[in-house]
Chains A and B, each alone.
Chain A
Amino acid sequence: AQSVAQPEDQVNVAEGNPLTVKCTYSVSGNPYLFWYVQYPNRGLQFLLKYITGDNLVKGSYGFEAEFNKSQTSFHLKKPSALVSDSALYFCAVRDLRAGNMLTFGGGTRLMVKP
């Protein structure tokens, strides 16, 4: 069975500082990995994905994520955080050879303070 772990319930960072939101995964085959963001009272918005190729993927709003196969991780990063980045972030995995189910982690709340 596939699974996703986000070890931090909350990440606090000062505006202008770099941020990292951690994610590790477990799948039987080759993973498709995703990051989503959720603002209050809204649905989840797609940020970026890794399917194949370059381990560093770039997405919306200046976010990027690094795929590390040996560590089974897919951490979300941004060089300089904005207060408006404060939201709930979800990591997700999909194994196209195992039914194509889309499984989410528990979410990490990012708080960026001015």
Chain B
Amino acid sequence: DAGVIQSPRHEVTEMGQEVTLRCKPISGHDYLFWYRQTMMRGLELLIYFNNNVPIDDSGMPEDRFSAKMPNALFSTLKIQPSEPRDSAVYFCASSSSRGAEAFFGQGTRLTVV
């Protein structure tokens, strides 16, 4: 397996634009996590899914953020409209309930100017 795949690796966008981050989890994993990493706040859990269903989205900072998981192979994190304070590295991770440990993608570095 190629591991967790995130795209794009880097995204630079202007304030007010819509941004969509994508994640392909490891096949067979039934948990998917979205995290945001910044120098100020460290690694924050935004939302996580179990069997494609959102379980806890209390970490989503505002209504500008939304996440979907239409099937077991794909998830998106959307920011609309984007703001400079959204600049961060966004990580996706997946795990199986049997294995317990999560495996991370390489992250998407988002810069909003």
Contact = CB atoms under 8 A, between A and B. Distances in A.
Majority DSSP secondary structure for residues of B touching A: strand
B100 A43 contact: no
A22 interface: no
B52 to A, nearest CB: 15
Interface residues of B, number: 23
Contacts of A90: 43
Q: How large is the interface on A (under 10, 10 to 19, 20 to 34, 35 or more residues)?
A: 20 to 34
25 contacts: A34-B100, A34-B102, A36-B104, A42-B106, A42-B107, A43-B4, A43-B105, A43-B106, A43-B107, A44-B43, A46-B101, A49-B100, A49-B101, A51-B100, A94-B100, A99-B55, A100-B31, A100-B97, A101-B55, A101-B56, A102-B33, A102-B45, A102-B48, A102-B93, A104-B43
Interface of B: 4, 31, 33, 35, 42-43, 45, 48, 50, 55-56, 91, 93, 95, 97, 100-107
